[in-house]
Chains A and B, each alone.
Chain A
């Protein structure tokens, strides 16, 4: 005993220490190394040296603007699709799931017991040129006779949506599940239609879940490269693909590091605008 009593003011710091240490070693330090690297010049054969090479950033922006925009675009569409798909599901489980709630939630998480790569490869089979999905769509004239899904932007966005769906569905479920159903009864007592009660009561109360889900989906999706590589064509490649090739194939570490920072800045800016639009208190779920 003794120590905690005598140094009560130390307790919060001791509780914080493991997390802070973890973030310092595995996030802050690598980020620092990456920042340093992004300002180096030279090449792998002769070695790199630190020269405040801000040009790396400029070059990256100039040469790969298309891929940056495409990444944000694909991630944005996938996030929206994931929201539209998950909301009804999460709503249904939260309000109508009854004793099956846990099992139904397990179904959402179940695909995640399989690794990311395998799940994405499975979509190669689902969307195959001679598969059921493509044949059905051709039959319905959604796709032309020679049309296909693989190696198109549709396949990439579909893959991203699928792979990040649970990150949207679970926070949504949590926020919907906490809604007191008596509030909805009260709304109806006050002559609100079902739709109006949803718009005025349920939707605002589930906003923290929407915000959390959107961020958890959008941020990793913007940096993803597996879906574009496996399900896309060279025209669909995202900035993640370029960073991967700069890092591994070209051993151009400064350019890769600079691009990573630009991507990070882009995502931060998007998140900032989003937070401003919906209100920051929704991020933390503090009541308005």
Chain B
């Protein structure tokens, strides 16, 4: 088959583009390379593509800020000859899923080989359930043996056939010590009158409910109607009493630094990245949430090339570079929690401060107190609707 589109193909795609009513739809028709790479990968071809198309969240890979480069990606190209077309176009799971679900549901490629979605939102498991994710080529990923034990058998992908963790993070409480005494528990956060109107809660249901259920003495890994209602009512009460100022994504971080907020339900990596000495992060007294962003090959992506890349990032040395950067060359890392065994040891030599930061390599005690939210509850329409109504008015 040639690269050129025949007229019927063009019309078909233009029509699809017209149905979507987006210019990108028509532009995609002119691209034309997507169907080709889909065809080659489906036949199990073991040659590397010239380009690997990787969509990730913003500020989520090692970066040299002076040269605006990503050293680990440059190294990959040097080693394998495959250029990584790295796009930071994921801001939150819902919007990104909204963007890709149209083409995927029509069986079209989204021109990506790897995308990264979070396990405590419903879309990751939805991608797998709908058959919109390709199976990994495990024969190309021997380094998968370095995956940390807790991540081996997640509910949404019990044998890791479709997904591999990119980074994990913890959800807990951050506070600004200039404005408040230490805020160490959800009870304090949601009911201390001194904090009224000075706190925010995350708008992601999995994060918020895990923390509150643990504070209620309930189990967030097996949600029941009773435990859901109890946690929901507690948050609703705090909204009605105006204790909670807003529900936020990661936009709480600047407000916390500026002093508009005294405390916030917060993601560990955000606080590690801010590096403000007045802002402290801790796992709530009764426990917090653990979530993981997972790499996934969307339908039509190049399976072999994506798998080779995954194998590359599961090399502890590469994982260490992504995690901690390299202080000697001025590269910054992502500062979240690394899912690769051996990365900490590799970092101890090159960047001991990062290796010893408990927000990046948490202690066993911290890891024991954080839980993964029930993935069934994430797809429960009743819970989702109730939660969204609370969060958006």
Contact = CB atoms under 8 A, between A and B. Distances in A.
B95 interface: yes
25 contacts: A25-B21, A26-B21, A29-B18, A29-B21, A30-B21, A43-B381, A44-B126, A45-B129, A124-B255, A125-B258, A128-B259, A130-B258, A146-B197, A151-B245, A230-B251, A233-B242, A234-B246, A234-B390, A235-B239, A236-B393, A237-B393, A245-B392, A246-B388, A249-B94, A251-B101
A238 B392 CA distance: 8
B260 A150 contact: yes
Interface in A46-64: 63-64
A224 interface: no
B17 to A, nearest CB: 11
Contacts, number: 83
B384 A250 contact: yes
Contacts of B318: none
A247 interface: yes
Contact of B384 (A30, A230, A249): A249
B391 interface: yes
Interface in B373-388: 379, 381, 384-385, 388
Nearest to A238: B393
Interface string B358-382: 0000000000000000000001010
A177 interface: no
Nearest to A241: B392
A242 B197 contact: no
Given A25-B21, A248-B95, A249-B384, A128 B260 contact: yes
Interface string B89-100: 000001101100
Interface of B: 18-19, 21, 94-95, 97-98, 101, 126, 129, 197, 239, 242, 244-247, 251, 255, 258-260, 379, 381, 384-385, 388-393
Given A29-B21, A233-B245, A244 B392 contact: yes
B367 to A, nearest CB: 29
Given A63-B389, A228-B393, A245-B391, 8 more contacts: A25-B21, A29-B18, A43-B381, A150-B245, A151-B246, A248-B94, A251-B97, A252-B385
A242 B392 contact: yes
Interface of A: 25-26, 29-30, 33, 43-45, 63-64, 66-67, 124-125, 128-130, 146, 148, 150-151, 228, 230, 232-238, 241-242, 244-252
A130 B260 contact: yes
Contacts of A242: 389, 392-393
A236 B391 CA distance: 11
Sort A-B residue pairs by CB-CB distance and give the 8 closest, nearest first: A237-B393, A245-B392, A248-B94, A241-B392, A245-B388, A151-B245, A129-B260, A249-B94
Contacts of A251: 97-98, 101
B256 to A, nearest CB: 12
A44 B3 CA distance: 35
A248 B98 contact: yes
A233 B248 CA distance: 10
A249 B385 CA distance: 9
For the residues of A in contact with B, the DSSP-based class is: helix
B247 A234 contact: yes
A267 B374 CA distance: 42
A234 B244 contact: yes
B239 A128 contact: no
A153 to B, nearest CB: 12
A217 B20 CA distance: 29
A25 B260 contact: no
A234 B21 contact: no
A245 B244 CA distance: 19
Contacts of B21: 25-26, 29-30, 33
A171 B123 CA distance: 46
A234 B392 contact: yes
A125 B251 CA distance: 13
A130 B261 CA distance: 10
Contacts of B129: 45
A234 B239 contact: yes
Most chain B beta carbons < 10 A, residue from A43, A128, A232, A249: A249
A233 B259 contact: no
- Most interface-central of A30, A66, A150, A230 (chain B CB within 10 A): A150
A151 to B, nearest CB: 5
Of B101, B247, B258, B393, the most chain A CB neighbours within 10 A belong to B393
Given A248-B94, A248-B98, A151 B393 contact: no
Nearest to A231: B246
Contact of A128 (B245, B258, B391): B258
Contacts of B390: 234
B164 to A, nearest CB: 25
B245 A237 contact: no
Contacts of B239: 234-235
B98 A45 contact: no
A253 B269 CA distance: 33
A151 B381 CA distance: 29
B392 A148 contact: no
Contacts of B393: 64, 66-67, 228, 234-238, 241-242
Q: Which of A30, A66, A236, A251 has the most CB of B within 10 A?
A: A251
B388 A250 contact: yes
A246 B259 CA distance: 32
A63 B392 CA distance: 13
Contacts of A129: 259-260
B15 to A, nearest CB: 12
A249 B246 contact: no
Contacts of A233: 242, 244-246
A63 B386 CA distance: 11
Contacts of A43: 381
Nearest to A248: B94
Which residue, of A233, A244, A246, has the highest number of chain B Cβ atoms within 10 A?
A233
B27 to A, nearest CB: 15
B200 to A, nearest CB: 9
A212 to B, nearest CB: 28
